[in-house]
Amino acid sequence: MNSATALTTDPLRDTVRWLAAHTCFPASRLKSNAETLLCFAAVAAAAEEAELQRRFLIKSRDPAQTSALRAHAMRRSQVHFKCDNSAKV
């Protein structure tokens, strides 16, 4: 997995990686207010990512509805059927 997709897949994991890279986490830590702010930002980013994924889900077809629409279209086409009696034997 490349680093571009890793940044967008799990914001909480990315925050911990950032803390480890820039603050030598967990050996040295930021002030509690700063860590809290980073954690809230990560949770907000995770919620936003989940909302974006949920928004663009493809809805599956309902077989019963598809069948009902097909039958309705067939009945409508049969209403206008005209019998041609011009070719008499």
The pLDDT tens digits for 53-79 are 777 666 777 888 889 999 998 888 877
Predicted local confidence at residue 28, as pLDDT = 81
Q: Over 70: is that where the pLDDT of 81 sits?
A: no
45: its two tokens: 């980013």
User: How far from each other are the two terminal CA atoms of the chain, in whole angstroms?
Assistant: 76
Predicted local confidence at residue 70, as pLDDT = 92
* Overall average pLDDT of the 32-59 stretch: 83
The better pLDDT of the pair 89, 31 is held by 31
Q: Over 50: is that where the pLDDT of 2 sits?
A: no
* pTM summary value: 0.47
d(CA 15, CA 7): 9
26: its two tokens: 């967990």
